Structure 1
Amino acid sequence: MERKVEIHKFGGGVLGHEGEGVKFIDSILDAREGGKKIVVLSALEDVTDILREGEWFGVLAKYSELGRELIPDDEYYREFALRIKEFKWRLERGRKFITRSEILGLGELLSTYLVYFHRRAQKRNVGLIDLYNEFPIIVKEYKPFDSDPDLEEIRKRRRLIEEYLEKYDEVFMPGFLAYTKDERVVTLGRGGSDTTAILVGCVLKDYSQVYLWKETRGIRTADPKIVKENKLVKYLSLSEALNIALFGGEVLHYKGMRIAYEKDIRVVVPYIKNPNIYTIIDRKDREPEEWRSRVKYVGGTVEALQVPVPYEKLGKFIEVLLRENLGDFTHMVGPLLHPQLIILEGSKLLRNEMEKEVKSILERGRRVAVVNVVGDGLGPAKGVLERGAKAIAEHTSILGNVSSVRNGIQTEGAYMSFAVEPSFFEETVRVLHREFVEKDSSWSN
């Protein structure tokens, strides 16, 4: 294809506005005339959690009501309503007729059908890549709730995507869902719709641009609810984005950012209410010089566990965590014979089913918060760790509640990490943000 293809992913936060959210999508797609577009949809906000709790029929009713509002053409509304009726029939008959993965992805499917028929009713030239008709997103193996994509297999289906683009101006597809090679439905895990959009960007890399539309005003240097003086990060390297996703940032998701980092995929993260506010995520050498030395993010998670792991069981313990995709761990602290493993989102792992031996080790863990400072400029700089430690030392209430400190290089990007008591998480974020962002005069440019 000669013209550039735009890949737009709209998430639950955008669709959380329901009817207004779809109108935001209309305004964005209509303003970007002249090129082909692939649109990846997520579920309405909180719908996946509601489905996980078994409240299926309430979700169907919600989408049916939205369809009445947004699909004025009776013919297209009947087609949309028929999809809902089919899902209701399958749900009433149980697991022989619909898998758990399909149920969890029901919001993505219904969002896609909703916006697709809405755009058809507006007489747009639109196509639908449906989960149930030659879907191109394939995974390596069957892990129903967190599968890893098989990029080689997906690339084999490039022609399928291009055929839709040759025929239609806008092509809609659900995020989050995928197939195994033997045609079993799975999900891509947390942030799966971002992953879908980035995968399509990989397949069409030579002539596409990925946009991940968010409810946030671009990527910020800290959570605005914690730090009022947060700043817009206009440029972010792929390695920095990966570390932000790994170390607790809620706007970016690790699996998708890992693919973007490894395959050198440029990603733009615009604000849904004002497209002029955005963050560009790209290769470090394409970043403006003045941005390369800045700290880009201070934040983390209060869901971590600091776990004592017997040295002789350490290898098996880590192997289980990696195999089951149960979480990412930051580092080990303490003596070699009695290492303490800091596990991100560790408290969530306690609610999962796993081997008894691993479960018993996790249950001995102590809940901590992890605060990370991320920025490629931290790498070669001398005295960075001492500077962070000194800033915290000036706040004695925090200092007495720090259980570990570390800095290092992760996937070529630099970071500094502090484990603190959860009740001191927000104060620690504010202290480190003030030290590394607010005191940096380059941010005033």
Structure 2
Amino acid sequence: MTDNTARTRTMPLREWLAPITLVAVLAALLGTMYLGYTADPEKHLHDFPIALVNQDVGDTVAGKPADIGGQITAALHDNIPADKIDLREVGLNEAQRQLRNGEVYGAIVIPGDFTKRVAILGTASVVPGQIEQPIISVLTNPRAGTLAAQIMSTIADQAMTQVNTTVGTQLTDQVEAAIGTTPLSGAAQLQLTQPIDVVVTPYHPLPEGTGQGLAAFFYTLVLLIVGFSGAMMINSLVDASLGFIPAEYGPWHKNTARAPISRARTLLIKWAIAAISAPIASAVFLGIGLLLNMSIERPLMLFLYGALAIAAIAITGLSVMAAFGTAGLMINLIVFVVLGIPSSSGTIPLEATPRWIADMASFEPMHQIYLAVRAILFFDGHLEAGMAQGLWMTLAGLAIGLTLGAAATNAYDLRGMDRLGAKHSAPAP
């Protein structure tokens, strides 16, 4: 091709259409993922885990044996839609264990003297004396997610309103049958209409410096961004240094003689830089978090896992670009960011997202990292709280990245497929 031809060459139509099409596809994917999971979380509820604890031992009401706690438990099972709520009837110790590990988003607790208090309340409606309302405790779990705790409160409020109405009607009928034509006072009628005191309290409240529970999500996000962006920067800078692409600085560019190096060795250099950079970046994040008074109870564990997560993302991202070239940029963007944030469960619980988004959490890297970071920040690093899953899935992702990169680059080298389709030589002046 002559210099004059090179100067007058124009882009054919297909080269215009390719980037425009990619932008349109990316816009459609972003809109579907991000608007689809934020539009109406409560509409998409499925398998939302709630513990139900019934400690009521029963008593005598209106001269007959009664177990109102059991009746309420049965009513909750009947009236709460099973396709939306996973209502787990467990003992108090098991409920506390599941709350501690973030396995449930809340618990409804009926105390052991519930029926007895209801009976006393009915008697006190016609006999003077001091009484205490029957109490049902609703425990939210803000450490498992702020929005999840709000959804738990909404569900409990709706369920307990219905329970209060049902128990109030039954109690009013029993009292009126017992006193005959004697009229009830207005205060007694009001008390019988809403007999249950529903107390909503957070279980193990979040400390200060957690951003109302969002600190785990944003810490996960910065780990992912530095790993993802770091991979792109390392890829470009190393390629420029080795002469595979020009180094550009504003309007200036510099061409370097192409180094006689294989694809596999080039990728090893990039991996090494990513491995060295990961603990440095993790230390920077940890230091900034501590300077900003972020609540970090296990800094060493957070530092070590952060370094692993950054390295795993960067190394896998570099491997994808080594295997797929320019297309690897789009693949990394979709896998790590576009699909990752909606399925992370960091802002909206998976049980409040469309099922097809929740299903992606089983393999999406960001969800695994979020589980581990949340466990470290809010659940004392317990393995059962997501630390085990996050750790092993991160290691599995790193292994996949290493395997993909090694296999692809060695296969290309063995076939003699030099980069840019040219032998190692200095670029023409």
TM range (shorter): under 0.3
Larger strand percent: 1
Larger helix percent: 2
More RCO (CA 8 Å, sep 6+)? 2
Structure of higher CA gyration radius: 2
Compute the TM-score of the two structures, normalised by the length of structure 2: 0.21
